[in-house]
Chain A
């Protein structure tokens, strides 16, 4: 036996916990501490019934909390203080001597907390919180409804279980149904309060310039930068082009045409289409498989070709790209070579110049390229993310002393050496590798895949991709993620991908596309019946299925109808076959008595007696009773 109030309290406290979990990451320690303090006090009060805090006092505290929260609000820091205030309000409500409406207010506040959390984070964990909160709130609402009708009710196990079952059923229908509402709810291209959504704070990782010699170690970042839906291709072709760095300033590489992804005309050969879901990362650079041919993006309902974003990417972006995955691409063979690809700072390191003339004294451009490239691929050089040379001459330190570094050092060194030897060269920043998710058919590219490689202009070949960084060293993902944990991560990422693809990125344009698709299908559908086009087997299977279904429904419905009435009907049918028809005004007993055949009469009497014993004494027809009655009917 459970007191309904205790049950409501338990469910409400759980809801409050979920509300807290939704916003825990975004509120300050003071709000957290305040909430748990009030939560503990409220729970102690509710389950021990020890004290009552006057309502006026709590109201005063609530007002003060709200004023403090609103006083902290700034235009760029709007949601967090409000959430901090709201969570304290939940705590205060828990401490109150609660009436039904107070419980409802706690649930409402939890809904607002969830809304607030969704403005700050778009992680898939939201879905878990949302489903749990929906279930608990449903249960709480059912219990509150019962409580409002009979406040002192004590629930027995059966009643409580039935309430639980109702909550489960309601959620099982309502949560999927909310998917339908999600699709059809009106959307606009011009929301008014976009400033509230900060779900996607900028993230560091990719940068549009390279500075050497400033940090001694680089942290690996596991966060996702983008996902590319595409077919699986060879690993050595997985270079995701981002930005071309052509200006060398002694210690840093920069781009003369920042934020623009240079595309090339299609050159025949295989092309690979990609749909890229780029995470918010605070920059304007687009990424696509090297070498990109075209990139389109939906903007305000139109699909247009782009090479860069107008604004830094602060929310998830989806675009399409077509690429020619190849290491060579035709360069400006006949055009005069662009001097900027040979540019070096004046009086640039003499030591490196000496090294280059020593390594590549050849006349042929290709030979020089190969020699310089091979120099960096010798055993002397190793890949490292720590103990990087911190100095004012990082490249010299790297090439002549330490010989350890990350891709930035390898690529910069090769680029500089090529330029010194008179080969036009440039650096390309982007990503290398990625994990292919077979179930989701996409590559997952993480920040730690960030990479820089070199392109050298070789006559007859064009721009040739050179990656001097020792392969496999920095790209954990190039080796497939192994183990149960790894598979779990891939699975979770699949969910996350679909979450982003279907939920987070759903917009007006997709809504239109669904409507257009449905309309087109309707229009295209051919309603005329042409015998040769009718798939007879399919129709037969469908008809058979429908008939089976209809039969099952009929059977089920028949059983659902009063079983007593069915039994009597069956009894009368049998008797009719034996030649005895019951008159309309005749009672069952009377009918049985009028049967001529003594044996049959005796059996009919047995049926009638047993039936009446059940029916007229308001007993429910048990399985046994039904079996007995059926046995008698069969014996007639």
Chain B
């Protein structure tokens, strides 16, 4: 698509005036100037078209995108051509635009754009629009480029009271000592000192009793897993609940509390890994209480 700019209208007017003078003076040199104006218009069109050809755009989203929070989206423009550089290419992503002033042939450039997603869910981008006024600012040429980019936007994390999600969240959460060696909780046993044991774990009482250095062995502490039950009927708005759940998933996993999820009759067992957290967030992002029948 081509849009004529203000200077383009002036150029066309100039061409028409000089063309008119050429016909009406019968002067071949004026004809020559009119011809030049026309041919420059044509050639600038060809160059403009060429400028937008053989370009590839890749949109790179960050790993985790939350609704209502600005995410830095990377836009990579690649010139898949042998000789000619690309000039003044503007890539539009919705309302936002990025200008790539100059891109050499067979090279790429990346710029970042803060993007705000209003709601959770899957956002797929199948095309971006690029445009350029090169070589002359008379016409702006537009082109849509196919991109295959999909981003899953997680619900907006919203701070909320824990009871909103689960009545026993508060009651059940907390630290428990587990039957495993660690450095945190009760004494499990006392053993002989091994060089390298920290001084603070030396049990002075036993050392005094036995005359040889003794070291305490302590139990490890583990967080008690939390399961977010979304299926329990509640009065609150679903989106609010999903936001609240997101908040808790983030908060608990950050403090290494295993989190599980019950949603739509499906249960995800608690876990603390990054992949686990992601899978819970993905489910929260795409949750639809009334799925359309296929």
| A residues whose Cβ falls under 8 Å from a Cβ of B | 100-101, 104, 108, 111, 114-115, 118-119, 122, 126, 130, 134, 138, 141-142, 144-146, 148-150, 153, 158-159, 162-163, 166, 169-170, 173-175, 177-182, 185-188, 191-194, 196-197, 199, 503-507, 560, 562, 618, 620
B39 close to A (CB within 8 Å): yes
Q: Which of B18-26, B165-173, B208-216, B266-274 contacts A (4 or more CB under 8 A)?
A: B18-26
Nearest 5 A/B pairs, CB to CB: A118-B29, A181-B35, A191-B26, A177-B39, A178-B35
A145 in complex: contacting residue of B18, B82, B88, B104, CB < 8 Å:
B88
Q: Is the CB of A196 within 8 A of B135?
A: no
| B residues whose Cβ falls under 8 Å from a Cβ of A | 7, 10, 14, 18-19, 21-40, 42-44, 46-47, 80, 82, 85, 87-88, 99, 101-102, 104, 106-108, 133-137
Q: Is the CB of A146 within 8 A of B87?
A: yes
Bound: A618/B101 CA distance, A? 21
Beyond A126-B29, A185-B23, list 15 extra A-B contacts (CB 8 Å). Answer: A111-B14, A130-B32, A142-B135, A146-B101, A148-B137, A159-B102, A162-B102, A166-B87, A173-B46, A175-B36, A178-B38, A179-B35, A182-B32, A504-B28, A618-B108
| A126 to B, closest residue via Cβ | B29
Residues from chain B with a CB closer than 8 A to the CB of A187 are 23, 26, 31
| B43 to A, closest residue via Cβ | A174
Residues from chain B with a CB closer than 8 A to the CB of A192 are 24
Bound: A122/B30 CA distance, A? 10
Q: Knowing A101-B7, A166-B135, A181-B38, say if A191 contacts B14 (CB, 8 Å).
A: no
| A127 to B, closest residue via Cβ | B32
Residues from chain B with a CB closer than 8 A to the CB of A505 are 28
Q: Is the CB of B101 within 8 A of A118?
A: no
In whole Å, how far is B210's beta carbon from the nearest beta carbon of chain A?
58
Bound: A114/B35 CA distance, A? 13
Bound: A162/B101 CA distance, A? 12
Q: Is the CB of A188 within 8 A of B23?
A: yes
Q: Is the CB of B30 within 8 A of A115?
A: yes
Q: Is the CB of A144 within 8 A of B101?
A: no
Bound: A166/B85 CA distance, A? 10
Q: Is the CB of B23 within 8 A of A115?
A: no
Bound: A153/B88 CA distance, A? 12
Residues from chain A with a CB closer than 8 A to the CB of B19 are 185
Bound: A101/B137 CA distance, A? 11
Bound: A139/B13 CA distance, A? 21
Residues from chain B with a CB closer than 8 A to the CB of A108 are 10, 14
A174 in complex: contacting residue of B10, B36, B87, B104, CB < 8 Å:
B36
Q: Is the CB of A118 within 8 A of B27?
A: yes
A170 in complex: contacting residue of B10, B31, B44, B82, CB < 8 Å:
B44
Bound: A192/B136 CA distance, A? 33
B31 in complex: contacting residue of A126, A145, A185, CB < 8 Å:
A185
Q: Is the CB of A194 within 8 A of B40?
A: no
Bound: A162/B33 CA distance, A? 26
Most buried by A among B10, B27, B36: B36
In whole Å, how far is B160's beta carbon from the nearest beta carbon of chain A?
43
Q: Is the CB of B87 within 8 A of A115?
A: no
Residues from chain A with a CB closer than 8 A to the CB of B108 are 618
Bound: A138/B30 CA distance, A? 19
Q: Is the CB of A194 within 8 A of B23?
A: no
Residues from chain A with a CB closer than 8 A to the CB of B137 are 100, 141, 144-145, 148
Residues from chain A with a CB closer than 8 A to the CB of B107 are 620
Bound: A130/B108 CA distance, A? 38
Bound: A122/B28 CA distance, A? 9
Residues from chain B with a CB closer than 8 A to the CB of A186 are 23
12 contacts between A and B (CB under 8 A): A115-B33, A118-B33, A141-B135, A145-B133, A146-B101, A149-B101, A174-B44, A181-B38, A185-B38, A188-B23, A193-B24, A196-B25
Residues from chain B with a CB closer than 8 A to the CB of A199 are 27, 29
Q: Is the CB of A145 within 8 A of B134?
A: yes
In whole Å, how far is B115's beta carbon from the nearest beta carbon of chain A?
22
In whole Å, how far is A506's beta carbon from the nearest beta carbon of chain B?
5
Bound: A159/B133 CA distance, A? 17
Bound: A100/B10 CA distance, A? 14
Residues from chain A with a CB closer than 8 A to the CB of B102 are 159, 162
Q: Knowing A115-B18, A620-B107, say if A146 contacts B88 (CB, 8 Å).
A: yes
Q: Is the CB of B39 within 8 A of A560?
A: no
In whole Å, how far is A201's beta carbon from the nearest beta carbon of chain B?
14
A150 in complex: contacting residue of B22, B26, B46, B101, CB < 8 Å:
B101
Q: Is the CB of A141 within 8 A of B33?
A: no
Q: Knowing A193-B21, A196-B25, say if A620 contacts B35 (CB, 8 Å).
A: no
Residues from chain A with a CB closer than 8 A to the CB of B82 are 560
Residues from chain A with a CB closer than 8 A to the CB of B44 are 170, 174
Q: Is the CB of B35 within 8 A of A173?
A: no
Q: Is the CB of A170 within 8 A of B25?
A: no
Q: Is the CB of A620 within 8 A of B106?
A: yes
Bound: A504/B82 CA distance, A? 42
Q: Knowing A142-B135, A194-B25, say if A182 contacts B43 (CB, 8 Å).
A: no
Q: Knowing A138-B40, A149-B99, A193-B21, say if A562 contacts B80 (CB, 8 Å).
A: yes
Q: Is the CB of A170 within 8 A of B29?
A: no
Q: Is the CB of B26 within 8 A of A111?
A: no
Residues from chain B with a CB closer than 8 A to the CB of A141 are 135-137
Q: Is the CB of B39 within 8 A of A150?
A: no
Q: Is the CB of B106 within 8 A of A145?
A: no
Residues from chain A with a CB closer than 8 A to the CB of B31 are 182, 185, 187, 506
Q: Is the CB of A182 within 8 A of B10?
A: no
In whole Å, how far is A142's beta carbon from the nearest beta carbon of chain B?
5
Q: Is the CB of A503 within 8 A of B32?
A: yes
In whole Å, how far is A73's beta carbon from the nearest beta carbon of chain B?
16
Residues from chain B with a CB closer than 8 A to the CB of A181 are 34-36, 38-39
In whole Å, how far is A319's beta carbon from the nearest beta carbon of chain B?
18
Q: Is the CB of B7 within 8 A of A104?
A: yes
Q: Knowing A145-B134, A187-B26, say if A162 contacts B35 (CB, 8 Å).
A: no
In whole Å, how far is A23's beta carbon from the nearest beta carbon of chain B?
13
Bound: A175/B39 CA distance, A? 7
Q: Is the CB of B43 within 8 A of A170?
A: yes
In whole Å, how far is B176's beta carbon from the nearest beta carbon of chain A?
45
| A188 to B, closest residue via Cβ | B23
Residues from chain B with a CB closer than 8 A to the CB of A560 are 82
B32 in complex: contacting residue of A100, A142, A178, CB < 8 Å:
A178
Bound: A456/B289 CA distance, A? 121
Residues from chain B with a CB closer than 8 A to the CB of A159 are 102
Q: Is the CB of A185 within 8 A of B35?
A: yes
Bound: A192/B14 CA distance, A? 19
Most buried by B among A119, A170, A181: A181
Q: Is the CB of B133 within 8 A of A149?
A: yes
Residues from chain B with a CB closer than 8 A to the CB of A150 are 99, 101
Q: Is the CB of B39 within 8 A of A193?
A: no
Bound: A562/B28 CA distance, A? 49
Bound: A238/B115 CA distance, A? 86
In whole Å, how far is A288's beta carbon from the nearest beta carbon of chain B?
25
Residues from chain A with a CB closer than 8 A to the CB of B32 are 118, 130, 178, 182, 503
In whole Å, how far is B179's beta carbon from the nearest beta carbon of chain A?
43
A177 in complex: contacting residue of B14, B21, B24, B43, CB < 8 Å:
B43
In whole Å, how far is B109's beta carbon from the nearest beta carbon of chain A?
12
Residues from chain B with a CB closer than 8 A to the CB of A134 are 36, 40
Bound: A158/B36 CA distance, A? 29
Residues from chain B with a CB closer than 8 A to the CB of A620 are 106-107
Q: Is the CB of A114 within 8 A of B33?
A: yes
Residues from chain A with a CB closer than 8 A to the CB of B135 are 138, 141-142, 145, 166, 170
Residues from chain B with a CB closer than 8 A to the CB of A114 are 33
Q: Knowing A174-B36, A178-B38, A197-B25, say if A118 contacts B30 (CB, 8 Å).
A: yes
Q: Knowing A187-B23, A191-B24, A194-B25, say if A170 contacts B47 (CB, 8 Å).
A: yes
Q: Is the CB of B36 within 8 A of A191?
A: no
Residues from chain A with a CB closer than 8 A to the CB of B23 are 185-188, 191
Q: Is the CB of B10 within 8 A of A104?
A: yes
Bound: A144/B8 CA distance, A? 13
